[in-house]
Chain A
Amino acid sequence: MEQLMVGICEDNREERVRLLDMVTEAAEKVTVEAFSSAEEFLKSYYPGKYDLIILDIYMEGMSGIEALETVRKTDSRVEAAIETTSQDFALESYRLRAARYLEKPVKMEDVSELIQSVIRKKEAEPHLEVESEGSRVRIPFDRILFVEQKGKMLWIHMDDEREIPFRGRLDDEEQKFPSGQFLRCHKSFLVNLSKIRGIDRELLTFVMEDGQNVHIHRQGFFNAKRTYEQYLYSIAEGWKNR
């Protein structure tokens, strides 16, 4: 089990310390960082830094909801929990995919349940294991942007700008990727549909989350576009039914 990274953002000092203690207690391998304001939290934040962030809703300056909004612009993966006293922000937290509410005052069992669920989710995360440069690497599918064939090597482009090379042919390796999420859009490209930001019709490419272009085979353009659209629709269809 890897180290669990947790970030806490809470302006009330006592509450912050309490929360820090509870999180540390809830899991064995956990690293916690605590901040007293959203601004401070965002200053040190980068996508992929944490597995879980806990935010207070009402703080001096920027609110927890606003902070989460900023986080979500670059990181759609991190789990988030919101401390609150009421259910008034249900819609916002739905939109920002906050895992759950922590009702104030925060209770130990709620925190430990939250931590456990994050750990479970992290462990159960579908992933790929490959031999790269002499070591085994565990790559969660959700973090892959696309896979590219270059000569005899396959390059996995990750959402944190890492590129992981390993030996193989895309035709063979393609089956290892979940077919609903990945699309073979070109002879040498396999793309993660959930990481596509849009389609560039001039260049015939998928524009990825981080702005990279992934080529689409010209004849397959309509099919690729359609598959992408169907994937989009399925997101809306599956939302709330998850």
Chain B
Amino acid sequence: MFIESDIGVRFIKNMLKWQLLKTSGIRFDNILSREKQALLKTDDWKEWWDRFGGRIRWGWFAAFCVCCLILIWRVIPYYVSDSYTGGAAPLRKVNTAEVTVNGSKETVKLPAKISREGSETALQAEFHFTNERNDCYVEVRTAFAPLTVYVNGSKMYSFGAEDERPSFMKDPGTAFYMVPVRETGEITVVLQYTFPKTRSTISIPQLLVSNQSGLVRYHTMTTGGVLAASAIMFLAGVILVFVSLIIIRMDPGGYIFLWLGTFIALTGMWGFSNCDMALFFINDPNLWYMLSYISFFSLVLPLELTLENSVKFHRKKPLFLLRIFLMISMLLCVVLQMTGTVMFTQSARLYQILIPLSIFTFTFAVLVEAVRYKNKTGMLWVGPMLILSAASVAELVRYKDAVVYSSSQYFVYGVMVFGFFMCMIGGFQIRKSIQLSRREKEQEYRLSLLNREIDEQKKYQDTLLEHEKELRRQRHDYRHQLTVLKEFADAGKLPEIKEYLSQLREAIPTGKDIRYTENPVVNAVVGYYARAAGNVGASVNINISLPRELSRSVEQNLCVVFGNLLENVVEAEERIADSGRNVEKKVNLSAVMHMGHLVIHMENSMTGRPRKWGHFYISSKREEVGIGLTSIANIATMYDGNAEFRCEENCFISDVYLTV
């Protein structure tokens, strides 16, 4: 992987070098040999063409482009013409209505917000239009105000009666309804709104007139995008949460993703439940009312937690206090709503200020962290947080201006961009943290190997001492034996001399310790694990050819390589023993010097198969990124080599080479 990108870089470098040489007027031949020139002169365009996959991949790419063009070409008419799909009729908006409040009648331009002036409880809006269609529908919408609809005097629809909603809801949720109009000609539609208990205004939207598919088309065109985006975000957030659960098991940095996922999912839910079109899917205004407000109130909490987990703030207190406050106030709001004391619509007034304010605070905190403490992660966060702040400002302005607020699109899109950035930043951080922890473990492992080496050396010295004692004894014996021989010779006893000599020959001491390689340090480590593997009952066959003298750092790294390889083997053989399967336990390790490279080939029996996570191998016994194989590969790359691991039936094969 690295090498591939490397090549690309080198390719560009070569190109640049070439350009430079050409322009600087230095003669080519002096600098580059003829072969190298030939290499550089090869057709660059063709190189590039082949590098990106040749004919086949380009063919696929072209096919994809053609498909896209066809798709776009087919879709354009849907946006241009008014009557294209599913018999959708053109949409008409009735912009004026005669509004009666407190008995006084006046013509109002819509959409409009009518405030309650006195103690009146109801409001009546009268619409007039001419209908020529026989499949005509009008769409009416109400937010929190009970509504009854009359068409040409007959009652067609009523919404928001006390018994239609749970007792803790003082007002109904937001609803819209398509009322059929059967008559043709002059039509009068009368909407009777009842003022909500918790608000002093009623929003009257324009009356939409079309057939059913025309109305659906209108909604899809206006809020379909936000709806789809919200749904995607919700799903993405949920998936991210699940993925984070896996990541957390390997690295605590995964909490960033957990909270980020929750934030994105909540925003998605808020966006979705805030869309009028959600009612198409589940026609329960009360449900969407609850979901919309709860997700809205709680979405800054996971945002704060993501921030706290990702940026290690120097001053943690303020944000912590803010979080506690947000948590308490949210719980309070839920309790007040559930007891029917204060509606969400009322507490939302507080939150409309609180949420942008929190986001600004977070942005400020991140800015302080980045500027004052030069915190790297803090700097990464600045961009996304500014985007989020901008999005919340835009949303706030839109809400203030809108008479009819039907979706929270700016915020949803803002969070989408934010989430995208954050996923990248989070991934970045986790990668870093995993690398760090791996390096720590490697260090630890190196230390433990060092200790083992010291132990082995002590043992070695003990045996040397033992040998010296033995030698002293032998010197003593030597004199004695010569005396015996002399006596035999004096007496002329030739057969006895022969007999005695052959006895002596057998008594020559032989080395007991198995020497696997000339290098004592590597030998110590290999010997340790070979014994351990032997103890598990594996047949061990190790041949390592290494020079006696190696530099200290090479020696240590080789210890890590051999130690890791053989430790894995011992574990694998233990697992075979535990599983009780009838697999022959064996390990063949051979390492040979070739042209300054040490080439290692190892085969060992195993059960199961190794798991990989990207570049990292996952340890079989612990649920975490294993350091063994990865650190071997690291060391190999460090010494201009490479490592390869593969698995055949019940056999794990490791190949490593490095320049010693």
Instruction: Please give the residue numbers on chain A whose beta carbons come within 8 Å of chain B beta carbons, in ascending order.
Output: 69, 88, 91-92, 94-95, 194-198, 201-204, 209, 215, 218-219, 221-222, 225, 229, 232-233, 235-237, 239-240
Contacts and interface: CB of A to CB of B under 8 A. Distances in A.
B39 A204 contact: yes
B621 interface: no
Nearest to B654: A233
B4 A197 contact: no
A170 to B, nearest CB: 15
A201 B6 contact: yes
A95 B593 contact: yes
Interface string B510-528: 0100010110000000000
Contacts of A196: 595
A232 B659 contact: no
B597 interface: yes
B484 to A, nearest CB: 24
**Which 4 pairs from chain A and chain B are nearest by CB?**
A236-B601, A95-B545, A233-B655, A236-B599
Given A198-B597, A236-B657, A240-B590, 12 more contacts: A91-B515, A91-B518, A92-B518, A94-B543, A195-B595, A198-B595, A198-B596, A201-B3, A201-B6, A209-B595, A219-B51, A232-B599
Contact of B7 (A94, A221, A236, A237): A221
A233 B657 contact: yes
A16 B640 CA distance: 45
Query: Chain B: interface secondary structure?
Result: mixed
B527 to A, nearest CB: 13
B35 interface: yes
B185 to A, nearest CB: 78
B82 interface: no
A203 B596 CA distance: 20
B543 A233 contact: no
Contact-residue bracket for chain B: 35 or more
A95 B598 CA distance: 12
B599 A233 contact: yes
A203 B51 CA distance: 18
A160 to B, nearest CB: 17
Contact of A236 (B42, B50, B515, B655): B655
A186 B471 CA distance: 62
19 contacts: A95-B518, A95-B547, A194-B594, A197-B595, A198-B595, A198-B640, A203-B36, A218-B47, A222-B4, A229-B655, A232-B597, A232-B599, A232-B657, A233-B601, A233-B644, A236-B592, A236-B655, A237-B590, A237-B601
B207 interface: no
A239 B590 contact: yes
Contacts of B517: 91
A240 B543 contact: yes
Nearest to B600: A236
Interface string B630-660: 0000000000101010000000000101010
A218 B42 contact: yes
Contacts of B655: 229, 233, 236
A131 B162 CA distance: 109
A186 to B, nearest CB: 9
A118 to B, nearest CB: 22
B545 A235 contact: no
B591 interface: yes
B50 A222 contact: no
Nearest to B11: A218
Contacts of B39: 204, 215, 218
B10 interface: yes
B540 interface: no
A205 to B, nearest CB: 9
A228 to B, nearest CB: 10
Interface in B364-394: none
Interface string B1-43: 0011011001000000000000000000000000110010010
Contacts of A197: 595-596
Given A91-B515, A196-B595, A239-B592, A229 B10 contact: no
A198 B659 contact: yes
Contacts of A239: 543, 545, 590, 592, 601
**Which residue, of B547, B591, B597, B659, has the highest number of chain A Cβ atoms within 10 A?**
B597
B404 interface: no
A195 B597 CA distance: 12
B593 to A, nearest CB: 7
B590 A219 contact: no
A55 B113 CA distance: 109
A215 B36 CA distance: 9
B546 interface: yes
Contacts of A229: 642, 644, 655, 657
A235 B543 contact: no
A202 B14 CA distance: 9
Given A215-B35, A218-B47, A232-B597, A201 B10 contact: yes
Contacts of A235: 592, 594, 599
Contacts of A204: 39
Interface string B57-79: 00000000000000000000000
Nearest to B508: A86
B640 to A, nearest CB: 7
A239 B544 CA distance: 10
Nearest to B659: A198
A204 B657 CA distance: 19
**Which residue, of B36, B515, B595, has the highest number of chain A Cβ atoms within 10 A?**
B595
Contacts of A225: 3
B633 to A, nearest CB: 13
